[in-house]
Chain A
Amino acid sequence: MIRIEPRQNISYLATIYIPVISALAALALAIIPLTFAGAPVLPAFQQMFFGVFGSVFSFTEMLTRATPLMFTGLAVALAFRARLWNIGAEGQLYLGAMAAVWIGTGMVDGPQWLMIPLVLVTGAMAGALGMLGPALLKTRFGADEVVTSLLLNFIILIFVQMMLEGPLKDPMGLGWPQSMPIIDSAALPRLLDRMRIHAGLIIALVAAIIVAIILSRTVLGLKIRAVGENPSAARHAGINVNRTLLLVACGSGALAGLAGVSEVAGLKGYLTADLSPGFGYAGIVVAMLAGLSPVGVVISALYIATIFVGADSMSRAMGVSSFLADLVVSLSLICVLIGGFFTRFSVRFERKRQSDTQ
């Protein structure tokens, strides 16, 4: 019979190799949809690999794609550490992007050293407000933040469409629902000539380091982890649980908001309603693959971005639907969940004892 026992001590190594094995398993499982679509498996994987690592341009494209994923991954990791279920990173991303185009398209102008921080801070604040709402509804009324933050995604996206057809619409946009372009002094500088990679990546890496330091080296980080592990014990220890949750909500929302700023001010230059192909939801996968570790988020964002860019290139070359990327990403999440089970529990197969059968 099968016996499941919790492991006494979780090996540190397992927290590294389990996500790696899960990610590889998800890639291996892609064989099934590839075969279903009638694509030759090995050439398809080859195409995915070279679609990312085949040229400097494609590699920087992967880094560009990883940038928003790092922000939303950090947003989710920070919130989940405190067991605050922020599923609204998608909406908060749009709030950040909206704030960026609101202030960064000519409302104010100044030198670059002033404009870039201004756009970043405004976007972060907008994102923070986006998660503060559900968090307040949770602490004040006990309303489940999973549902409220999820539903808010839909409300915000419709709001973006309304703004793009109204106040934020570019009069020179030939009737398209898009915002005016971000002015030069507010745009994040490009890192390389003729590549789309931009300073958002640097900001994301700095954000990851800051979140890592806050979580592991500060009193606030200790409180966040205590609230996440056992809220009632944290309360008995004199921690203001609600205040900690609200702070986490603001931090998490701000990070997701920065994803929007980075996409608008670094990559696209203007806002449209299809700015994000689900970066907020992919952030959940990124955070879980990373085991909610901020440094891990950077690595898993690179992996998820590799899948997206690689699968895009493969689907163009071989005519396989690009939904394959979403499929592999979602499989990664399920694989890492199952992998997480094996880090925490040991499963043993035992023969039935003689006494049981007699």
Chain B
Amino acid sequence: MIEILQIFLSESFWVASLRIATPLIFGVLGALLCERAGVLNLGIEGIFVVGAMTGWMTVWLGAPLWVGLIAAAAAGGMFGLLHAILTVPLGLSQHVSGLGITLFATSSASFIYRTALPDVSSPPRIQPFQPMDVPFLSDIPFLGPVVFQQTAMTWLALIMVVIVWWMMSRTPLGVAIRAVGDNPEAVNAQGLSVYGLRIGAVVAGSCLMALGGAFLTMSAFDAFFFGMVNGRGWISIALVIFASWKPGKALLGALLFGMFDALQVRLQTEAGAIIPSQVFLMAPYILSIIALVIVARRAEYPRALLHPWFKGQR
């Protein structure tokens, strides 16, 4: 018990929690945007991979870090656009199209990586984002290291939470996006473009997802590995239901998840001798399923989620 208390009081635990939460914040926000507009985007896992590979490769080719971020977001947006075209105007199965995008995006990224680097034993490294050093604020005991010594990407994630929240709840655009996910016919009657809103939301959401992937290669680590996304996309899809499609709760969900994950890593070092390490490795996935089951009955899905809408047809 004392050990667990000590973990919660340590700075490094909270630093790690926020770091683990960062890609999920991007992922959940991205999934939230797509689903609020009525489109499930199961391409998320592949878009994470594309973001991770593109961001890393752009920097490895000599571009500055922020150019890498833009490249990652753009690449993710391209795959999002493909998913949007397949599911919105063509109205194809969002499940199957999304899985297709994941397979396509993952294999494209892997193929490009392997073609550029045919036989390297250890993946080449880049200089990733460094922890920030904000004058005064970083020196505040506890709060300083936890919040103000994270990398710029964690900050970007937190800013995106505010932007998405503000846009969804305070702007006409946000109202239109929510409406198009609930009742596209009414949006059409208002003279707004259902297709335009849905496609835009899916592309923007996919850009955010790709940033989540880019965080892995440009901030958490400094190289690209196959399989490094490791289900983070799927976990984001579970968390967005847990967060009932609200940006604030999405942040909370990602942070809670980050805390549990940071805790299991530390418990693993404490109890590693007794319990096999794999039990801890399973924990994040089991946790996501439990979170999903808890909220499933009460979840209020956007009413038009998964329902394609065609112009001129009821």
By a beta-carbon cutoff of 8 Å, the part of chain A in contact with chain B is 4, 6, 33, 36-37, 85, 87, 137, 141-144, 146-148, 150-152, 154-155, 158-159, 161-162, 165-166, 281, 284-285, 288, 319-321, 323-324, 326-327, 329-331, 333-334, 337-338, 340-341
Within 8 A of A (CB), among B112-130: 112, 114-115, 118
B173 within 8 A of A: no
Contacts known (A37-B115, A155-B285, A340-B92); A329 close to B103, Cβ less than 8 A: yes
A33: min CB distance to chain B, Å = 6
A78: min CB distance to chain B, Å = 15
Picked from A87, A151, A161, A330, the residue with its CB within 8 Å of the CB of B238 is: A151
Contacts known (A162-B276, A327-B104, A327-B107); A147 close to B234, Cβ less than 8 A: yes
In the docked arrangement, what's the CA distance between A290 and B86, Å? 19
In the docked arrangement, what's the CA distance between A141 and B106, Å? 32
Contacts known (A166-B276, A284-B96, A319-B118); A151 close to B107, Cβ less than 8 A: no
What would be 5 A-B contacts, judged by CB atoms less than 8 Å apart?
A: A36-B112, A146-B95, A151-B288, A165-B276, A329-B103
B99 within 8 A of A: yes
In the docked arrangement, what's the CA distance between A243 and B287, Å? 27
In the docked arrangement, what's the CA distance between A288 and B230, Å? 25
Complex contact B106–A148 (CB within 8 A) = no
Contacts known (A337-B86, A338-B86); A162 close to B107, Cβ less than 8 A: no
Binding site of A, secondary structure by majority: helix, strand, loop or mixed? helix
Picked from A143, A320, A323, A333, the residue with its CB within 8 Å of the CB of B96 is: A333
Q: A331-B104, A333-B104 are in contact. List 20 more A-B contacts (CB 8 A).
A: A141-B293, A142-B299, A146-B237, A147-B237, A147-B288, A148-B293, A150-B231, A155-B286, A159-B278, A159-B282, A284-B96, A319-B118, A321-B115, A321-B118, A329-B103, A330-B100, A333-B103, A337-B86, A337-B97, A338-B90
Contacts known (A161-B278, A337-B96); A36 close to B107, Cβ less than 8 A: no
Picked from B104, B238, B276, the residue with its CB within 8 Å of the CB of A334 is: B104
Complex contact A148–B107 (CB within 8 A) = no
Q: Which 6 A-B pairs have the closest CB atoms?
A: A321-B114, A330-B103, A326-B107, A162-B278, A330-B104, A323-B111
Residues of A within 8 A of B268 (CB): none
Residues of A within 8 A of B82 (CB): 334
In the docked arrangement, what's the CA distance between A72 and B289, Å? 23
Residues of A within 8 A of B297 (CB): 141-142
Complex contact B278–A334 (CB within 8 A) = no
Residues of B within 8 A of A137 (CB): 289, 292-293, 296
Complex contact A142–B111 (CB within 8 A) = no
In the docked arrangement, what's the CA distance between A329 and B100, Å? 9
Residues of B within 8 A of A338 (CB): 86, 90, 92
Residues of B within 8 A of A85 (CB): 95
B194 within 8 A of A: no
B93 within 8 A of A: yes
Complex contact B86–A323 (CB within 8 A) = no
In the docked arrangement, what's the CA distance between A146 and B110, Å? 24
Picked from A4, A148, A159, A337, the residue with its CB within 8 Å of the CB of B289 is: A148
Closest to B117 in A: A321
Instruction: Give a binary string over B56-98; 1 marks a CB under 8 Å from any A CB, 0 the rest.
Output: 0000000000000000000000000010001001111101110
Residues of A within 8 A of B42 (CB): 146
Residues of A within 8 A of B289 (CB): 137, 143, 147-148, 151-152
Residues of A within 8 A of B238 (CB): 147, 151
Complex contact B99–A87 (CB within 8 A) = yes
In the docked arrangement, what's the CA distance between A162 and B297, Å? 33
- Give the most central of A33, A36, A143, A320: most B CB within 10 Å: A143
- Give the most central of A147, A155, A281: most B CB within 10 Å: A147
Closest to A138 in B: B296
Closest to A332 in B: B100
Residues of A within 8 A of B293 (CB): 137, 141, 143, 148
- Give the most central of A87, A320, A321, A333: most B CB within 10 Å: A321
B241 within 8 A of A: yes
Closest to B107 in A: A326
In the docked arrangement, what's the CA distance between A334 and B112, Å? 19
Residues of B within 8 A of A330 (CB): 100, 103-104, 106-107
Picked from B91, B99, B235, B299, the residue with its CB within 8 Å of the CB of A284 is: B99
In the docked arrangement, what's the CA distance between A6 and B96, Å? 20
In the docked arrangement, what's the CA distance between A159 and B281, Å? 9
B244 within 8 A of A: no
B108 within 8 A of A: yes
B279 within 8 A of A: yes
In the docked arrangement, what's the CA distance between A158 and B235, Å? 16
Residues of A within 8 A of B166 (CB): none
In the docked arrangement, what's the CA distance between A36 and B114, Å? 12
In the docked arrangement, what's the CA distance between A36 and B111, Å? 10
A263: min CB distance to chain B, Å = 20
Closest to B239 in A: A147
Instruction: Give a binary string over B205-234; 1 marks a CB under 8 Å from any A CB, 0 the rest.
Output: 000000000000000000000000011001
B88: min CB distance to chain A, Å = 12
Instruction: Give a binary string over B259-277; 1 marks a CB under 8 Å from any A CB, 0 the rest.
Output: 0000000000000000010
Residues of B within 8 A of A285 (CB): 100, 103
A14: min CB distance to chain B, Å = 16
B8 within 8 A of A: no
In the docked arrangement, what's the CA distance between A58 and B266, Å? 50
Picked from B90, B97, B110, B299, the residue with its CB within 8 Å of the CB of A323 is: B110
Complex contact A144–B296 (CB within 8 A) = yes
Residues of B within 8 A of A158 (CB): 278, 281-282
Complex contact A142–B296 (CB within 8 A) = yes
Residues of A within 8 A of B104 (CB): 327, 330-331, 333-334
- Give the most central of A331, A337, A338: most B CB within 10 Å: A337
- Give the most central of A87, A144, A284, A324: most B CB within 10 Å: A144
Residues of B within 8 A of A144 (CB): 241, 292, 296
In the docked arrangement, what's the CA distance between A321 and B110, Å? 9
Closest to B292 in A: A143
B113: min CB distance to chain A, Å = 8
Complex contact B110–A337 (CB within 8 A) = no
